[in-house]
Amino acid sequence: MIKPRQKLALMSIISIWVLGTLLLTVATSAFAQNNSQGTNLYSQIQLFSEVLQKLKQNYVTDLSDEELIKAAIIGMLGSTDPHTTYFTASEFKDFTTSTKGAFGGLGIQIDKIGDYVTVVSPIEGTPAYRMGITAGDKIVKVNGESIVGLSTDEAIKRMRGDVGTTVEITISRPGISTPLVFKIIRETIKIKSVPYSFKLSNGTGYLRITQFNENTSTELREALSTLENNGITGLIIDLRYNPGGLLDQAVDTVNEFIGQNRLVVETKGRTENKQLYTRYNTKERNYPIIVLVNEASASASEIFAGSLQDWDKGLVMGKNTFGKGSVQQLIPLSNGNGVKITTSYYYIKSGRCIHKMSNDKLLKGQQLSETELKTEDEKNHKQIYYTANKRRVYGGGGITPDITSEGDFLTLFGAELRRKNVFFNFTVDYMVAHDHKLADNFEINDPIMDEFLTYAKKQDIKYTPADLDSANAYIRNTLKSEMVRKVKGDQEAYKVTITQDKQLMQAIELFDRFHTMKELFDHAASVKKD
């Protein structure tokens, strides 16, 4: 019988031999391609095997082969970029869930920035969104236990749970010295790519795309059909806070506006380059289009916005986009685990590379000075490219809008009211007291406002007259929106919310002045000259 320590030693020898054989095969292949490079790789593999063997033989306690190899793999991938990662079998399964259109949880898009799991954006209509979780929030604890330093996958595991159960998350928010604690009831998160589409009072259509999942192109076609049947004279496509998603869906949605056999994007890498063209013959859409973007529009949403810009089918308005233009390939491994590897970068039709290189450093927690970031932006945006109709567009490292437009600023008082869920809770009580009925011309009058402020004080929310003055319009609008939601649903509530949306109001105003794409492009060119 083999004794436990003999068994451990035998397993170590076998694992080293298997690993060595596997890596030797790789090294031999590399050696055949380049003798000096192959020799160096082989020597480094020998060094790795030697360290592994010495560690197993001499460490003070027994070590797990599986954990050692996993740590080695993670460390190896950690020397690349923040998007190249290793998954266990369960992690690999969880990772694929977000593209399927539904999952259980809180409703936040997260990423690892330095040691912190950070909110990229809350998903509209979810528990996290309703409670005021916002982009930039750092999640430091889940149910009282620190998650600082953990991977996003491990953080997701701790935040997800059975529908109807409660999770407590503690957040560090920039500009606020004390941690914020949220108690959130988990829900089934159903992701609708196009949650809102309707005709505005001036005849313009409005359509919001929140992310690109497997249902996006289908939902877009249905929304466009309804809007066009209602006789829209123009269209606003809102991609703000859209973190991206599936590349094929980005291409198919672009297809709806530029027609068949048009180049949308190229992926260029070390081993393989691909050109992705539109595939379907679609109806010609001649009405003017404005695409709204901001700093949180990333990846597939940047391909969509940049492609409509490149093909002169839409004017891009808002703020420079995030600049996530690297392509990852998800590769299953033989034991059920998986690896996600960055294989190429996105280049849209005009030749612009979407990827902003400094983002990789920031996401890995590296410090960059304001001067370094400014220099990169200036370099990117000095590069001139041309659209299909020879309009000048600028930069790589994200999409540069044709017209820059500043977004709204949420005051600290407003943020505190959202964080403590005061709007939602007050509205529930108010609607119960008023039998869930609202007058057609309902507005938030002074008595309702006073009642709300009294309620807020009971929630230990403190404010000054200046705080109230600066947030007055926001509070009234948000209260009305929440009450309308209870009676008429999300879309009618959203219509109320956007009346305070500065960027959207500026886009709507452009449609009141200009009625063709040429007029919009001419206006954008004149603004840039000024």
Q: Which residues are catalytic?
A: 299, 310, 324
Q: Pairing state of beta strands 384-386 and 392-394? A: antiparallel
Nearest to 355 by CA among 105, 14, 48, 81: 81
Q: Are 285 and 253 in contact (CB under 8 A)?
A: no
- Distance (Å, rounded) from C-alpha 206 to C-alpha 503? 13
Spatial neighbors of 257 by CB under 8 A, at least 6 apart, are 282, 285, 289, 308, 311, 313, 314
| DSSP symbols for 354-409 | ---HHHHHHHTT----HHHHHHHHHHHHT-EEE-TT--EEE-SSS---SEE-----
Q: Are 467 and 414 in contact (CB under 8 A)?
A: no
Spatial neighbors of 14 by CB under 8 A, at least 6 apart, are none
Q: Are 339 and 426 in contact (CB under 8 A)?
A: no
CA neighbours within 13 Å on the CB side: how many for 506?
15
Q: Are 77 and 86 in contact (CB under 8 A)?
A: yes
Q: Are 191 and 154 in contact (CB under 8 A)?
A: no
- Distance (Å, rounded) from C-alpha 262 to C-alpha 160? 41
